[in-house]
Structure 1
């Protein structure tokens, strides 16, 4: 491949104003190469160590038992009806180190009918049946998925270096390694970081094919495309995006051999897609491949029956049955298609969403933009802003327009696609696949060092250090990261909930805190994860007293209504929950925190009576101290 920034074979255009290569001196190059060889392996080891430590320290999160149980089912049953909305690659990799332990599995709760979500009861049963080892199983499964994050790091390095130079590669790798979102989700049994890595890798392979088309590069790009499709349904957008990008390239060419070249590349582009489809179907063992579109049973309005007056589709149906489209064989695994249908159905249900203290049915089109603004370090945003400014004022930080398009288009496509689904807004992880592209594009600011712009280079270094320090300041609680603009993770739940703050990751941290403070037991616990009893972690607990009932509900014994004196550990998702059951805890100051998602309170009789007076509840007598509900949380 020719030198980047001088000629693009995809466009056939000379690139004027591309980044200039720094002059090489006999004294400077060896020292720079030695530094390069030391820094990058060091970052790789640090990134791996951070992920491993988090994988060991955090408790299993809300959906990990379901994902792990589904992965085991894929191998043992060779069926893919569990967790359809996400392709099986990450789950299958996660299950591999667990299979030799022969975990107990109760397949009686297995189900795979249209719209079925049997993975959650199966995950709950999996935890119950393996309560002595389920934490170990989750740690082993997490460790198996960490290489996905390392792939993303290496692609950031390679692509940024080829586009903008080695200093840019260091910037891109640093942003990836210490990104709170990558650290937060990269150590979980979750497809999000894998999708970020494999989507970036696929785009890099496609970019290399565009610059120098060949059959081998087409097959390589196709294999990476298949892996991206196997990580998350989001990357189906590439099926439309890549041909569009290639068409733009083809239309920009001039010369006598254009027609012959376009024909050859058209065939190779078809090979890219066919290779991706083959790998996708192979991972599903070709189960249900080429099922006719009219033979599916869909549950979403988009693919099922026409919506009724309520706007919802009742039961199952197929709007393509009896039409010529229904006769078309789908070149996709059956469960892959049904997974897309279930995902669409979820977005059509208008689930309750939370943003900045407000709950509503459905979501906001700007939810993910706002989430990125407060969940990405301000140092990173400073670098993004600087990169945008440099693009506007000088050509020395810009490669060809086409290279920039290949890099920027997937990120924008993901953001637009996800933001358009306003049925519910719960998780910033849905836009995680765009981060790698942003990091590579932003890394152009690293060229300041190679171009001898020392003041600008110091600014870049300062912003990078700020970003890294901000992330490490709250590590290993990266899932709960919020930047300084909103007051950090301590104030994050006032802005976002769900996996953005509390995904159930801090129960082991609570257990460690209780081991150091035995006087805090017995303790009332309100946790966010219904599939795991805190007793499985060795915590003896009771359910905290509930607050005042909603209007129209029967008023219980006033002395059983909270607040009551005692020790309590309350998940921030439960404190801010739409039912308001534990919202009265906002009137108290926590004495400690387990991570940033479990707030620990020690309420005295005097403090309880103060808040009870504010709520219009009768005060408690001395004998009421310590009273609380003994039944387990439902």
Structure 2
């Protein structure tokens, strides 16, 4: 037994060390401010901030940390009166001393368990499908995938959602094979976890109910799943519930609920529901089906429906060896279907990959490859079918080894900056911002790297166009930074193009891309865009010397 688990234990140990180091290395990212504030307020019993995009379990996971460390109260912040989670979180974490960095690090630690659980479950499921050697290869692929690794240390729900989706699919597979009450209960537990960790996983509740009604025991399914979901939502929302107002019921139409399903919404609305949970569903549904957020692709602002966004992101942000394994897995699937050997695992693995990737592609929210993180473990697991076939032959085993070594080299080259990872199709991360921006490369995480660069290169002062909520003076000495004026509607007299004076400039990739600037100012920083940087701080801050 000990020998059986030794290899996966070593892999998980190495992965844990990498995650902890990365957590200490990265600066505060944009969405962490709002999730941190929402979590803290949740533990203070005042869970009603905007935006309401933090799911209940995400809020419950880390809000105890600032309470334990006696962090400044969010009730005393300036953002409290507007109930703005971003402003509250940024203000608390803006303290110009080492305690703010300590608070951020310890608040991140509870989230590190989810990439580790994802790697373990890839191995555990893979062992049952393919055997021990291939399962270890599958787990290694999961541990080395840069987006899972990069986002796995942050206070948000993306990587937890990947584990939630994978756990649900695994328990559904076990239940499919042996539909008894015990496995129904385990699948129900996984379903409740998934729904509570990420709003976009809510459709899994429908999938679980449909599978249980099909497989049985039907009476238990009809009772257990709805009750577990309802009371799970109530419990994680601290049993604060109210009847949904008619105005909110109507908003579900704009949140992606078709007219044919509105009768079901009205039926459910007869029960009291947690207001913040309903607001979260409406916020996420509205962002996915409405205008969404302003994004960036191939040099242009984007908004609304952009079906090519996630296929492009998959092509240039998913590692090439994993792309090859995914495509080989699809070939293996076709062969299995032709030979009538495909089964429940094929349906759940490839069906999940298609659902999560397809849903993101058809949505109107295009701000990061992280939104398809729930699909990535299924691509990797699907590639396991190909590895299982290849492992029978010496050349196949050599091909697997080449893929894993290639993946390790590519991922470790970018580490600890997996957020900004881009693959070799476009020459690696250096040019990534020209194709995609926002959380694909620049989420405000690289201010610590800028501080290290200035100290290492002995730069006495720097002029900055820096994106994000992090406090630069956690990393830069006072008086060394000269923030430059950014285009905004409040400053209409600003010239349309920036003309730099001599000095050293640090420019965030999001501002370099220009998509966050008001109309007419998209090319404000074209001077820097047209020339290669002289240095970089991570992949998201480009440094230029102007003579």
Q: TM-score, normalised by structure 1?
A: 0.77
Instruction: Flag the 1:401–1:266 CA change in 2: closer, same or farther, 3 A.
Output: farther
Q: Structure 1 CA distance, aligned partners of 2:216 and 2:265?
A: 30
Aligned residues: 534
3-state SS of 2:529 partner: helix
Q: Structure 1 CA distance, aligned partners of 2:227 and 2:379?
A: 28
1:540-578 CA distance string (max 9 Å, x none): 31124779x99x96476x9x9512110111111111113
Q: What is the aligned partner in structure 2 of residue 158 from structure 1?
A: 124
Higher share of residues assigned helix: 2
Q: CA deviation at 1:273?
A: 4.0
Q: Structure 2 CA distance, aligned partners of 1:324 and 1:521?
A: 61
Q: Structure 2 CA distance, aligned partners of 1:537 and 1:265?
A: 59
Are the equivalent residues in 1 in contact too, given 2:179–2:216 (CA < 8 A)? no
Indicate yes or no: 2:427 matched with 1:526.
no
3-state SS of 1:128 partner: coil
3-state SS of 2:506 partner: strand
Q: Structure 1 CA distance, aligned partners of 2:327 and 2:310?
A: 18
Q: Structure 2 CA distance, aligned partners of 1:161 and 1:266?
A: 33
Q: Structure 2 CA distance, aligned partners of 1:561 and 1:471?
A: 36
The 5 Å alignment of 1:174-189 reads: 174-189=140-155
Q: CA deviation at 1:508?
A: 0.4
Are the equivalent residues in 2 in contact too, given 1:199–1:228 (CA < 8 A)? yes
Q: What is the aligned partner in structure 1 of residue 519 from structure 2?
A: none
Q: What is the aligned partner in structure 2 of residue 343 from structure 1?
A: 284
Identify which of 190, 193, 201 aligns with 2:159. Answer: 193
The worse-fitting range, judged by mean Cα deviation, of 480-489 and 144-153 is: 144-153
Identify which of 175, 186, 208 aligns with 1:242. Answer: 208
Question: Aligned Cα RMSD in Å?
Answer: 3.3
Indicate yes or no: 2:242 matched with 1:276.
no
The 5 Å alignment of 1:38-437 reads: 38-107=6-75, 118-128=84-94, 132-245=98-211, 250=214, 264-265=217-218, 267-268=220-221, 270-288=223-241, 291-292=243-244, 294=246, 296=248, 302=254, 325=266, 328-330=269-271, 332-347=273-288, 348-393=290-335, 400-422=342-364, 424-437=365-378
Instruction: Flag the 1:130–1:221 CA change in 2: closer, same or farther, 3 A.
Output: farther
The worse-fitting range, judged by mean Cα deviation, of 323-332 and 576-585 is: 323-332
Q: Structure 1 CA distance, aligned partners of 2:419 and 2:494?
A: 38
Q: CA deviation at 1:232?
A: 0.6
Instruction: Flag the 1:117–1:153 CA change in 2: closer, same or farther, 3 A.
Output: farther
Are the equivalent residues in 1 in contact too, given 2:41–2:63 (CA < 8 A)? no
Instruction: Flag the 1:565–1:148 CA change in 2: closer, same or farther, 3 A.
Output: same
1:344-390 CA distance string (max 9 Å, x none): 33342354321111223324112112101111110111111222223
Q: What is the aligned partner in structure 2 of residue 455 from structure 1?
A: 395
Identify which of 384, 395, 404 aligns with 1:443. Answer: 384
Structure 2 alignment gaps of length 5 or more: 516-521
The worse-fitting range, judged by mean Cα deviation, of 75-84 and 166-175 is: 75-84
Identify which of 445, 448, 451 aligns with 1:505. Answer: 445
Q: Structure 1 CA distance, aligned partners of 2:140 and 2:340?
A: 21
Instruction: Flag the 1:39–1:340 CA change in 2: closer, same or farther, 3 A.
Output: same
1:68-117 CA distance string (max 9 Å, x none): 1211110012525454223031232223333211111242668899xx86
Q: Structure 1 CA distance, aligned partners of 2:8 and 2:181?
A: 32
Are the equivalent residues in 2 in contact too, given 1:352–1:361 (CA < 8 A)? yes
3-state SS of 1:482 partner: coil
Q: Structure 2 CA distance, aligned partners of 1:298 and 1:120?
A: 28
Q: Structure 2 CA distance, aligned partners of 1:130 and 1:66?
A: 19
Q: Structure 1 CA distance, aligned partners of 2:339 and 2:389?
A: 9
Q: What is the aligned partner in structure 1 of residue 538 from structure 2?
A: 595
Q: Structure 2 CA distance, aligned partners of 1:346 and 1:117?
A: 20
Instruction: Flag the 1:581–1:154 CA change in 2: closer, same or farther, 3 A.
Output: same
The 5 Å alignment of 1:467-616 reads: 467-518=407-458, 520-529=459-468, 531-539=469-477, 540-544=480-484, 554=493, 561-578=498-515, 579-604=522-547
Q: Structure 2 CA distance, aligned partners of 1:589 and 1:342?
A: 40
Are the equivalent residues in 1 in contact too, given 2:423–2:429 (CA < 8 A)? yes
3-state SS of 1:59 partner: coil
3-state SS of 2:24 partner: helix
Instruction: Flag the 1:585–1:121 CA change in 2: closer, same or farther, 3 A.
Output: same
Instruction: Flag the 1:81–1:216 CA change in 2: closer, same or farther, 3 A.
Output: farther
Are the equivalent residues in 2 in contact too, given 1:545–1:564 (CA < 8 A)? no
1:172-211 CA distance string (max 9 Å, x none): 2011100001111001111100010122112211221221
3-state SS of 2:464 partner: strand
Q: CA deviation at 1:263?
A: 5.5
Compare CA radii of gyration and give the structure with the larger one.
1
1:416-453 CA distance string (max 9 Å, x none): 2222212x411111111111222222112332466x32
Are the equivalent residues in 2 in contact too, given 1:180–1:471 (CA < 8 A)? yes
Structure 1 alignment gaps of length 5 or more: 1-29, 251-261, 305-318, 605-634
Q: TM-score, normalised by structure 2?
A: 0.89
